[in-house]
């Protein structure tokens, strides 16, 4: 997150790499001696503008609004607020919105609910289920098993850096290696082990 930028601006940053009309000669920006041509082109367009850059600006605004609308209850009223003023959960929503603005084929989320309370986690779960229903492919790395079991079609469980189980949520939930790794075994009266 860019702490001093607004929610909308943080989402827009994700789109920067896809700009065409607003970044002329961008292939030259990687060449040290010719980089100034690209920078001058961007400066000209920022000051004067072109029909193409104005169309692109409208498209950017529409994309940002679409992603804010996805999290409307939480981000809609905070659209122009600086990121530093957001709750942790709203910062995560803004990060997810920024990633979705690029229309990825695969959305990779690394513990998106870490640090969230139960009600915030439930909200994010509902939003992930909506994304899934829209056909968004998601790779989710998460330790909250309830969330994983509800969102996932296929699960890979790792322990100590090695795969110990994989399959459907029901198969993984009943796998003895998973039960042992996450719940451990304990002795019960009579000498039997129990999870």
Question: Per-residue confidence at 189, pLDDT binned at 50, 70, 90?
Answer: low
Q: Is residue 126 part of a domain?
A: no
Lowest mean pLDDT among 49-58, 100-109, 164-173: 49-58
Task: Say if residue 56's pLDDT is above 50.
Answer: yes
Token duo for residue 15 = 């789109």
Task: Say if residue 162's pLDDT is above 60.
Answer: yes
Whole-number pLDDT of residue 190: 54
Q: What is the DSSP string of 8-42?
A: HHHHHHTTGGG-STTSTTGGGGGSGGGHHHHHHHH
Q: Is residue 176 part of a domain?
A: no
Q: Is residue 183 part of a domain?
A: no
Whole-number pLDDT of residue 185: 62
Whole-number pLDDT of residue 34: 76
Indicate the Cα dihedral angle 76, 122, 11, 6, nearest 10°: 50
pLDDT tens track for 68-116: 999 999 999 999 999 999 998 899 999 999 999 999 999 999 999 988 8
Whole-number pLDDT of residue 187: 46
* φ, ψ (nearest 5 deg) of residue 64: -60, -45
Q: Is residue 137 part of a domain?
A: no
Mean of per-residue pLDDT scores for the chain: 87
Q: Is residue 172 part of a domain?
A: no
Residue 158 forms beta bridges with which residues? Answer: 163
Q: Is residue 33 part of a domain?
A: yes
* φ, ψ (nearest 5 deg) of residue 42: -65, -40
In angstroms, the CA 106 to CA 74 distance is 24
Give the closest residue to 27 by CA, choosing from 17, 42, 38, 36: 38
Residue 82 forms beta bridges with which residues? Answer: 6
Q: Is residue 41 part of a domain?
A: yes
Q: Is residue 166 part of a domain?
A: no
Question: Per-residue confidence at 32, pLDDT binned at 50, 70, 90?
Answer: confident
- N-terminal to C-terminal alpha carbon distance within the chain: 41
The residue ranking higher by pLDDT, 113 or 29, is 113
Which helix (H) or strand (E) segment is 109 a member of?
strand 106-110
Question: Per-residue confidence at 28, pLDDT binned at 50, 70, 90?
Answer: low
Whole-number pLDDT of residue 182: 78
Which helix (H) or strand (E) segment is 134 a member of?
none
Token duo for residue 130 = 């909506």
Residue-number span of the structural domain to which 43 is assigned:
1-103
Token duo for residue 53 = 């850059």
In angstroms, the CA 156 to CA 116 distance is 23
Q: How many domains does the chain have?
A: 1
Average pLDDT over residues 45-62: 87
pLDDT tens track for 125-138: 999 999 999 999 99
């Amino acid at each position: 997150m860019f702490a001093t930028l607004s929610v909308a601006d943080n989402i827009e940053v994700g789109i920067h790499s896809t700009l065409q009309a607003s970044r002329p000669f961008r292939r030259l920006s990687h060449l040290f001696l010719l980089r100034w041509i690209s920078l001058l082109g961007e400066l000209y367009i920022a000051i004067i503008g072109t029909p193409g850059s104005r169309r692109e600006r409208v498209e950017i605004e529409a994309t940002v609004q679409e992603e804010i609308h996805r999290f409307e209850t939480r981000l809609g009223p905070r659209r122009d607020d600086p990121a530093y003023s957001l709750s942790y959960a709203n910062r995560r929503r803004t990060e997810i919105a920024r990633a979705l603005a690029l229309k990825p084929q695969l959305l990779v989320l690394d513990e998106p609910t870490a640090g969230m309370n139960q009600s915030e986690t439930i909200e994010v779960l509902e939003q992930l289920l909506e994304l899934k229903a829209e056909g968004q492919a998601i790779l989710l790395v998460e330790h909250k098993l309830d969330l994983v079991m509800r969102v996932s079609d296929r699960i890979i469980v790792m322990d100590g850096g090695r795969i110990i189980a994989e399959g459907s949520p029901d198969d993984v939930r009943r796998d003895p290696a998973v039960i042992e790794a996450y719940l451990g075994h304990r002795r019960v009266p009579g000498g039997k082990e129990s999870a």
